[in-house]
Amino acid sequence: MPVGAVVSAAWGLVVLAGLLLVMARAVHSRGLERNGLMGVRTKATMHCDECWRLAHRAAEPGLRRAGWVAAVAVVVCVVLAVVSSGRSWGEVVTVTAFGVSYIAVVGVLLQAAVAAGRAARALHPRR
């Protein structure tokens, strides 16, 4: 896999890990105010400030987990890219590792979003 492609894919995971960990820390330490930039924004979570707060408290462990999955994945992917460089199977391994990494992060984020939605809907069950 070309070096530029590895760097781009790795940088994407680094940025994703950083954003997720910053957001999880913001939720944990001081709460994350409703905004148009960061957070789980669904009809249920945006209903009111209390729904937003409860939803993000419920999503916080998943956000942190997704951030750490991305952080560990970038290290594993870069090591695999370096070790498999120049081998006939190297590109397949590297592309697969990055693909699985992004899918894993999205999977954990979806779990966090489901937890957030459930928490918000529990506050207003008829919505």
CB hemisphere CA count around 92 (13 angstroms): 3
Mean of per-residue pLDDT scores for the chain:
92
Predicted local confidence at residue 2, as pLDDT:
80
pLDDT band at residue 31 using 50, 70 and 90 as cut-offs: confident
Which of the two residues, 83 and 124, has the higher pLDDT score?
83
Q: What is the mean pLDDT of residues 58-84?
A: 96
**In the chain, where the domains are located:** 3-123
Looking at residue 22, what is its pLDDT? 93
- Residue closest to 20 by CA, chosen among 65, 56, 67, 61: 67
Task: Tell me what pLDDT residue 33 has.
Answer: 84
| Res 123: pLDDT | 86
Q: What is the pLDDT of residue 127?
A: 53
According to the model, what pLDDT value does residue 109 have? 96
pLDDT at 72: 98
Helices marked H in 1-127 — which ranges? 3-29, 49-84, 90-123
Distance CA 71, CA 30 (A): 23
- Per-residue CA distances from 110 to 40, 65, 75, 83, 92 (Å): 10, 12, 23, 32, 27
